[in-house]
Amino acid sequence: MYFYIHIVVGFSATRQAAFVERFTNTSCGPCLPAGIMMEGLTHDYGPETAVLQVHVNWPSPFDPFYLYCTADNQSRWDHYGVTGVPTLCVDGKKLPSWSSTGFEVASRLGATAPLTIDTTLRERAVTARSVGDS
């Protein structure tokens, strides 16, 4: 029996997605408006924006989301040097104020993606081509 699979996946170089990391705590009062703003962005941009919420141990060390995964949460806030919440990062860039998140996300979505990926699966080989390759 012989099977042949041919898969081609292409992403347009003109579309970009935004990855947002939101540092928060369930006892943080100012985190509520930041959360409401993030819900609006998620609603407006849908799958073009991925949001990771990272819970820290301040102002309360009893945040259940922090307690569920302390090592991973601490690793993320150490990576960015987060010292207060709410703090937001877009595509690896720590923002000076959470209120600028909407502007940063819109800017990222309007930018040209640095890479387009065309893949072909043929006989257990995968070929990828980046923008600018011929």
pLDDT at residue 41 in the model: 94
Average pLDDT of the residues of the chain: 83
Query: What are the residue ranges of helices labelled H in 1-134?
Result: 31-45, 64-68, 70-80, 101-110
Write out pLDDT tens, residues 66-106: 999 999 999 999 999 999 999 999 999 999 999 999 999 99
pLDDT value for 3: 38
Output the pLDDT for position 96. Answer: 96
Mean pLDDT of 50-68: 96
Q: Count CB neighbours of 112 within 10 A.
A: 12
pLDDT at 1: 38
Q: What is the DSSP letter of 5?
A: -
**CATH domain 17-111 topology:** Glutaredoxin (3.40.30)
Tell me whether strands 18-24 and 49-55 are parallel, antiparallel or unpaired: parallel
Mean pLDDT of 106-115: 80
Given this model, what pLDDT does residue 97 score?
95
